[in-house]
Structure 1
Amino acid sequence: MRVPMAGLARLYARLLFRRPPADWTVPVADGRYGPAEAADDRPLTLLMLGDSLAQSFGAHRPEQTLGARLAKGLAEGTGRPVDLRVHARIGATTGAMGRQVLRAARLRPGVAVVIVGGNDALLPAPLGRAARRFAYLAQTLRDAGWQLVVVPCPNPGYGPGFRPLARWAGRHRSRRLARLHIRTADRVGAHLAPTAGPEFRDRAAELLGPDGVHPSPTGYATHATRMLPALLTAAAHLPAPVPAPN
């Protein structure tokens, strides 16, 4: 019998977290962002792919999510409205992200942000397989016309809410996977955005939520500020939009 992804995420959390969350609800942030009267009314698509970090578990309201903050920043920086679509899901591995990429085929290509690998690093599965799958999905998105922004695999060792063994194993495996993500990004012409650093360990009370693993709303705001320059660069590489009819 196939276990739903949400059920796998809860089982995984009980094994690896010191304080597993009781509620895995994530606010839905999909929609259009930007000023009511934008300088350019042709919308730009922003797609969030990957796991709980890309979905923004730990945010309490839609406007606190990473996707919403990035969409607002893109709208301000480009002068265009931004249509946000969040396909990322809690507990997703690189393999599971394939379904998210398939759904993206129905969207007009724009900027796609990928944050994945943390679950792969914490599971007893070959990293080479995850890296090859990541490379395939990245190339698929690029071939479909997406400007890709890759956040290399985050380091679970910075999350004090993980159990010691998970932090130790995850630290070493995530570093290897992050290097492979960077190599793939260079090869397919993707843009790199910074991943979480040791400040999330050193300022855990401020930047992490109650589980000590996922960012707090302040943590997502910090992520968005660091990532936005890469998204603006990616947006600048999109083909010029077709002029709107008079």
Structure 2
Amino acid sequence: MGAAAYGLLLTEVQIARKVIGQPFGSAGPGGEGRYGDFPGEPVQLVMLGDSTSVGLGADHGHQTPGAVISAGLAQIARRPVEMRMFGRVGGQSWELEEQTVRALGEGARPDVVVIMVGANDVTHRVKPQVAVRALEASVRRLRDAGVQVVVGTCPDLGTIQEIPRPLRYIAQRLSRQLAAAQTIATVEAGGATVSLADLLAGEFRNHRVDMFASDRFHPSPTGYARVADVILPSVAAALGYLPGERDRVPDYRRGEGIDDIAHAAVRAVDTAGTEVSGIEVSGAERGPRGRWAAFRRRRAPRTGDGSVVAATGEASQNP
């Protein structure tokens, strides 16, 4: 049943793509460059992963998730942010190794890497353990190099209405399972994850015209801005630009908490925008059921004057 479901899912996706076409070609709209008109050395941010990491479906480079995150981060840090992208349209998790080598070997060492990957692993029948092992290896290599890592987990493919039921349910189940496995692997390797699955499932299903690009597969500029909204606080916290947020004790009143990593991963998949990262409990990283993890809902970042950072912005220098 599993193999047959994978085969049917891939076939349906291919049929849908042929009907819709590929209006964006095989490359994203660009967007690499410096964001934020501030003094000082720029924060180095790198995007890795698949077509979502390079913003396929956006009209302009400054609308890609990397550009939106960079513009927001510059406002928070009051420093410029230099953003580079090594992701690839159609990319799968096994390609992260090469992308990671480039991120560490080409140009300045990154301060933070954002990884967005997983959908193509589902649709191309990549074994989950293979995809997750590749992700974990890249996260671990980056963390060993002193780089902060934030992973936007696999989106919910059940939002693609061109895939008929019941295959859409299968796509949803497989993508959510991969997202949970990505969370476990990333936290074990020292990174943090932000759940995108439920976010895309709810908002993208209810606002398809606004959230999806014309190919009905990739996010629109509005959709990417929403994705960037939930990733930005975790990026800023990882770099220490949100005082008190990086190691804040989870607030149970806000639906946050501490659990073993497996249960925290499941909770994150069920609640959009949830960050999961490692934590110590009574001085120990692990409990009777494995690695301890905190799941948090990061607050919207604010600038120095107290205003909420908007998910917009253009590069001050975009070579």
TM-score (norm 1): 0.84
Measured after TM superposition, the shift of residue 92 of structure 1 is 0.3
Aligned length: 224
8 A Cα contact 2:54 2:66, kept in partner? yes
Q: Which of 223, 226, 238 lines up with 1:234 in the alignment?
A: 238
Q: Which amino acid aligns with 1:117?
A: G
Measured after TM superposition, the shift of residue 165 of structure 1 is 6.7
Indicate yes or no: 2:203 matched with 1:204: no
Q: How far apart, CA to CA, are the structure 1 residues paired with 2:60 and 2:225?
A: 13
Larger helix fraction of residues: 1
1:80–1:131 CA distance, 2 compared to 1 (3 A): same
Deviation string, structure 1 residues 123-181 (Cα, Å, up to 9, x no partner): 12311111111111111111111100011111111122445576343212211111111
Deviation string, structure 1 residues 104-124 (Cα, Å, up to 9, x no partner): 122313110011111001112
Q: For residues 119-198 of structure 1, what are the structure 2 equivalents within 5 Å? A: 119-162=120-163, 164=165, 167-195=168-196, 196-198=200-202
Unaligned runs of 5+ in 2: 1-10, 242-319
Tell me whether 100-109 or 57-66 shows the greater mean CA deviation.
100-109
Partner of 2:217: 213
Q: For residues 90-129 of structure 1, what are the structure 2 equivalents within 5 Å? A: 90-106=89-105, 107-129=108-130
Indicate yes or no: 2:32 matched with 1:33: no
Q: How far apart, CA to CA, are the structure 1 residues paired with 2:96 and 2:41?
A: 28
Q: How far apart, CA to CA, are the structure 1 residues paired with 2:235 and 2:224?
A: 15
Q: How far apart, CA to CA, are the structure 1 residues paired with 2:20 and 2:192?
A: 35
Partner of 1:45: 44
Unaligned runs of 5+ in 1: 1-10, 238-246
Aligned CA-pair RMSD:
2.0
Tell me whether 126-135 or 68-77 shows the greater mean CA deviation.
126-135
Larger Rg computed on CA atoms = 2
Deviation string, structure 1 residues 198-231 (Cα, Å, up to 9, x no partner): 2111111111111211111111111111211111
Measured after TM superposition, the shift of residue 48 of structure 1 is 0.5
Secondary structure (helix, strand or coil) at the match of 2:53 reads: helix
Q: How far apart, CA to CA, are the structure 2 residues paired with 1:20 and 1:14?
A: 10
Measured after TM superposition, the shift of residue 74 of structure 1 is 0.7
8 A Cα contact 1:19 1:161, kept in partner? no
Indicate yes or no: 2:84 matched with 1:85: yes
TM-score (norm 2): 0.66
